[in-house]
Structure 1
Amino acid sequence: MQTTTLAAFLMVDLLLVFTPGADWAYAISAGLRGRSVAPATIGLVAGHAAYALVAVAGLAVIVARSPAVLTVLTVAGAVYLLWLGWGVLRQPAVPASAAAAEETEASGMQTMLKGFGISGLNPKALLLYFSLFPQFIHAGDGWPVAAQTGLLSMVHLTACAVVYLTVGVLARTVLKTRPSAARTVTRVSGAMMIAIGALLLAERLAG
């Protein structure tokens, strides 16, 4: 695979990753709640990695063409986002104290699982692999399609990890001494989760 192809893919992929959405909302919320945003980032990236494995295995086309699978995935993801968003609105995060941070660290696995659920139940991530990746994969350039898909997936996962980690750290650092602003940002994040979940349900019901 040529370096120019990878560079072009990275530019397009970064535009998509930099677009705020449910992943951003969760990274911000996790950054305000805990001492480390690593568990949330790992969970979010793991959800994308699951779709990467599906894409490498060549199953993305099958899943994307199955209305039943996409419907179940969309509804499950939408309901999950609505539930998480409502929870964030009910208990908006503030910058954690030292004691609270230690308590939050103990639930790192739960944080990772929530992150995995947010990105892993989002059909938009699957459609990203199905619609974007084929534009940068060329069967005749000497690389197997699976290898090209795997390389593009690694680039995408790295971009996700860097962006989500940065978003979480910035949210915690910038809002550390501003509890009221932190609550406002968290409420906005929760509202974003609810809005995205509602839009996913509306799109699926309309279809």
Structure 2
Amino acid sequence: MPEISTFWWFFTAALVLLLVPGPSVLYVTGRTLDQGLRAGLLSTLGLACGDLVQVLAAVVGLSALVASSEVAFEVVKYTGVAYLVWLGVKRLRTPVTLTPAADRHNEAVPGRRLVLEGLLVNALNPKSTLFFLAFLPAFVHPGQGPVWSQTLALGVVFVLVGVATNAGWGLLSAFVRGRVEESKGFLNAQRYVGGGVFLLLAGAVLTTGNTHS
């Protein structure tokens, strides 16, 4: 296991990185503004599960395989893009209706679906694959135990820090959402924010550079 000092430096670095708005923050805030705090927190859980998949992949070497294989990398990349585009278009095509708050609560998106969508967004993101390959090894030291156990421990810390920071962004977004009057104009804005977030994330994945020369 890594030493306490290593954990501390890793925690500090991870916290700084995760506090800066990025794709995960954009996803959580978009979900929260569009569908409320429940959706934002469940999406946070899903993103964490996706990150955990990436951590486990790094531990067993699957991330290295994807990063070293042009075909595998492209398959993961374009699968993720297609999924995000599908979610975005689906949201943009959802008609806007003015219904009582209680009815909107009853029509809430199933929690399992929100978690699964968040999981797929991160698990199919090749930028996450490359990030964990580049970031985690910098804090792994051969003299502090098996590489796989250090990688797993640091990865779990990163996932937990991500849960805390994304939940914080979700709470802030819910506060902003609660201060806005719910009119048809606002509901239209929710629709475009929700759909636009997915399309922006798809564009971000498309810009992921290939590691092959």
Structure 2 counterpart of 1:187: 192
Letter matched to residue 100 of structure 1: R
* Match status 1:145 vs 2:147: yes
Unaligned runs of 5+ in 1: none
Q: TM-score, normalised by structure 1?
A: 0.83
- How far apart are the structure 2 equivalents of 1:190 and 1:100? 18
Letter matched to residue 24 of structure 1: V
Matches within 5 A, 1:20-99: 20-32=21-33, 33-34=35-36, 36=38, 37-91=40-94, 97-99=101-103
- How far apart are the structure 2 equivalents of 1:161 and 1:92? 32
- How far apart are the structure 2 equivalents of 1:100 and 1:35? 13
Letter matched to residue 32 of structure 2: G
Structure 2 counterpart of 1:122: 125
- What SS is found at the alignment partner of 2:107? helix
Shift of 1:70: 0.8
Preserved CA contact (<8 Å) 1:60 1:126: yes
Q: Bigger CA drift: 147-156 or 81-90?
A: 81-90
Shift of 1:82: 2.3
Q: 1:18 to 1:61 in 2, by over 3 A?
A: same
Q: TM-score, normalised by structure 2?
A: 0.81
Letter matched to residue 55 of structure 1: A
Q: 1:203 to 1:45 in 2, by over 3 A?
A: closer
Q: Bigger CA drift: 38-47 or 24-33?
A: 24-33
Selected match of 1:131 from 124, 130, 134: 134
- How far apart are the structure 1 equivalents of 2:188 and 2:178? 11
Structure 2 counterpart of 1:168: 170
Preserved CA contact (<8 Å) 2:127 2:208: no
Preserved CA contact (<8 Å) 2:14 2:158: yes
Preserved CA contact (<8 Å) 1:73 1:123: yes
* Match status 1:103 vs 2:107: yes
- How far apart are the structure 2 equivalents of 1:28 and 1:182? 15
Selected match of 1:197 from 167, 181, 202: 202
Structure 1 counterpart of 2:160: 158
Q: 1:20 to 1:138 in 2, by over 3 A?
A: same
Preserved CA contact (<8 Å) 2:37 2:170: no
Q: 1:75 to 1:145 in 2, by over 3 A?
A: same
Q: Bigger CA drift: 25-34 or 39-48?
A: 25-34
Preserved CA contact (<8 Å) 1:34 1:104: no
Preserved CA contact (<8 Å) 1:48 1:119: yes
Unaligned runs of 5+ in 2: none
* Match status 1:18 vs 2:23: no
Preserved CA contact (<8 Å) 2:30 2:193: no
Letter matched to residue 191 of structure 1: G
Shift of 1:49: 0.8
- What SS is found at the alignment partner of 1:20? coil
Structure 2 counterpart of 1:7: 8
